[in-house]
Amino acid sequence: MPISNKLIETARAEWEFFGRGEINLDGTEKQGRKEYVDGAYQRVGDYWKFIGGPHKNLTGKDRGTPWSAAFISFCFNEAGAAAKFPYSAGHATYINAAIKNAGASGAKPIIGHKVKDYSPKPGDLIGYWRGATKVSYETARQIGWYESHTDIVVEIGNGFLYSIGGNVRHSVTRSQFKIDANGRLTDKSQNWFVVIENKI
CATH code at 97?
Answer: 3.90.1720
Q: What angle do CA 31, 73, 196 make, to 5 degrees?
A: 90
Give the whole-number percent of the chain exceeding pLDDT 70.
100
Measured CA to CA in angstroms, residue 130 lies from 83, 133, 175, 176 at distances of: 28, 7, 17, 19
**pLDDT reported for residue 101:** 98
**pLDDT reported for residue 1:** 61
> What's the mean per-residue pLDDT of the chain?
97
**pLDDT reported for residue 186:** 97
Continuous segment of H or E residues that includes residue 164 = strand 160-168
* Average pLDDT value for residue range 17-32: 97
**pLDDT reported for residue 11:** 98
**pLDDT reported for residue 103:** 85
**Residue 158 burial by CB count (10 A; 0-12/13-18/19+): exposed, middle or buried?**
exposed
> Are 172 and 18 spatial neighbours (Cβ–Cβ below 8 Å)?
yes
**pLDDT reported for residue 2:** 82
Q: By mean pLDDT, which of 25-29, 41-45, 103-107 is the weakest?
A: 103-107
User: Each residue of 130-179: pLDDT tens digit?
Assistant: 999 999 999 999 999 999 999 999 999 999 999 999 999 999 999 999 99
* Average pLDDT value for residue range 53-80: 97
Q: Cα(70)–Cα(54) distance, rounded to whole angstroms? A: 13
In the chain, the number of structural domains is 1
Give the whole-number percent of the chain exceeding pLDDT 90.
97
Domain extent at residue 119: 4-198
